[in-house]
Structure 1
């Protein structure tokens, strides 16, 4: 339960905005582009190092419940969005059965909803993408990943982990409109960079982003993954953030991106895409400090919501005074 520092009748809280109880999958028609469906995937059997991300979804939602429906930073009201909670997607100790269940659940979601997936380790993005491809087989899907790691290792049967989903999903997904932002983990050879870029992936390290500037990098990202496609999926591994913003994760990153850079990028991507979806993974509350990592994840989710809400405002005028 969040402790609120204000009690003000003008302030409306996300905790009071959920439109239906968890698990209610009613498909009543709602205004186009306003339905946001949160799904929890408490799965960490494939975490690469320290487990605990199965507790991530509930921690992120608890943090988000303490936020208001006004994204002050982006001057955007979230009140027109229809926020719903699906509840937990069932997981088991059989990782491949769990992946199949995730894919089937995602494929069966109502077509008008914008899904937000809360994990869980990063391996769940593979079955999420497979489900999205089945859900809308007529759409070309772009992919934007915020991560310190390539996650493109070749899997070893029986030793599967979250570090190879970019490799395995290539069985069904064309990476020509994929982007990886924040790659900087010192555990790779140059071959990983070469293979990623040969597959068409736009890779930008934190150094690349600092040199080019965030605005230019986001514009390039949108040109590569949003403009040529019909929909975009955004995947945020919380270890893309510098450890000061995200200590509670399996592999904390001492030299990652800043929270505000990722939040601003997510906002711009979410308001640029005709159709979008999001996952946030690798938040591990047992490893966290005073809930800081869950708070950071909630801020990123809020910026995604603000981007979707900004699309409902004429010419983005209220969201961006400079527009």
Structure 2
């Protein structure tokens, strides 16, 4: 059936009639929506809206994540043929997943961006869809969390990252990808007692009460023990999952702005995301994919896999 479909399917981003199901369009051709889902601004009946926020004016080192959403979409064309391995179900057949496109903004009016992000994500949620966001740098998670907290109150957070992102930043006008969690805690968007950061391997003396499961502990204790600790922290609270691609070791994801050695292997990240099945997930993002430093495309591939895993994680509790 797949081979027959491949003869007729083209530009599924615009031509697919059924929002559910796999796609067998040639991976090397066609319009590159995420997983060949239909581009649409009509979220009626949509369960998951994938959206890009190509913003990278908050980086501290190497820029380029503005090209991340485009690269992740292109890499995802390799994944549209099959259900994600290891889940035991097909989220693309269960869920109506749409590509909502990128958020428009004026790149020269940086201070306007945070409110735009909050409104953009809020509109997706108010339409009844869960947002899965492709970044962009990690600053974008702060205004996303504002939209979450406006509808759920302070949420639980699972952060995959090389950096804690809790460095002191009390200037309300600063836009910085390294302080998003500090501000989210100070502004009451997340409950630090229900926040856990996985893969950390940079020093920051004040973690503001966030549970730190650093990369060495994941390597030493193993995936199962790590999952047990994550679950104990977030419980059944509404939980947002943010995945900074630099949580992965640079051997697996070199195309990022602030790479740090000693990180998670891709198999560990996959096992951790799948092992979280059953949490009360309300949305997620993958950020900091920087194509200019991704010479082989490996980082974009990793980012597309993470985004697909987040969709599968969201769909787990919604199976029949």
Distance 1:17 1:62 in 2: 9
- Deviation digits for residues 270-318 of structure 1 (CA, Å, limit 9, x no counterpart): x21234211110000011022110001111122222233433446xxxx
Count of residue pairs the alignment pairs up: 290
Partner of 1:256: 263
* Contact 2:125/2:131, CA 8 A, preserved across alignment: no
* Contact 1:18/1:84, CA 8 A, preserved across alignment: no
Distance 2:165 2:146 in 1: 17
Partner of 2:200: 183
Partner of 1:66: 78
Partner of 1:12: 22
Partner of 2:11: none
- Deviation digits for residues 216-245 of structure 1 (CA, Å, limit 9, x no counterpart): 111210121132x1x110011100101111
State the TM-score, normalized to the length of structure 2. Answer: 0.83
Distance 1:310 1:132 in 2: 20
Q: Rate the CA distance shift 1:82–1:76 in 2: closer, same or farther, 3 A.
A: same
Q: Which moved more, 1:241-250 or 1:207-216?
A: 207-216
Unaligned runs of 5+ in 1: 1-5, 315-323
Q: Rate the CA distance shift 1:239–1:113 in 2: closer, same or farther, 3 A.
A: same
Q: Which moved more, 1:6-15 or 1:102-111?
A: 6-15
After TM superposition, give the deviation of residue 17 of structure 1 in Å. 6.7
1:99 is the counterpart of 2:117:
no
State the TM-score, normalized to the length of structure 1. Answer: 0.82
Partner of 1:317: none
After TM superposition, give the deviation of residue 161 of structure 1 in Å. 2.3
Distance 1:110 1:166 in 2: 21
C-alpha RMSD of the superposition: 2.4
Partner of 1:216: 225
Q: How does 1:266-285 map to 2 (within 5 A)?
A: 266-269=273-276, 271-285=277-291
* Contact 2:84/2:308, CA 8 A, preserved across alignment: yes
Q: How does 1:1-323 map to 2 (within 5 A)?
A: 7=3, 12-13=22-23, 20-22=38-40, 24-28=41-45, 35-67=47-79, 68-78=81-91, 79-91=93-105, 92-111=107-126, 112-134=128-150, 136-137=151-152, 140-155=154-169, 160-170=175-185, 171-173=187-189, 174-185=191-202, 188=203, 192-193=204-205, 195-196=206-207, 199-227=208-236, 229=237, 231-269=238-276, 271-313=277-319
After TM superposition, give the deviation of residue 159 of structure 1 in Å. 6.2
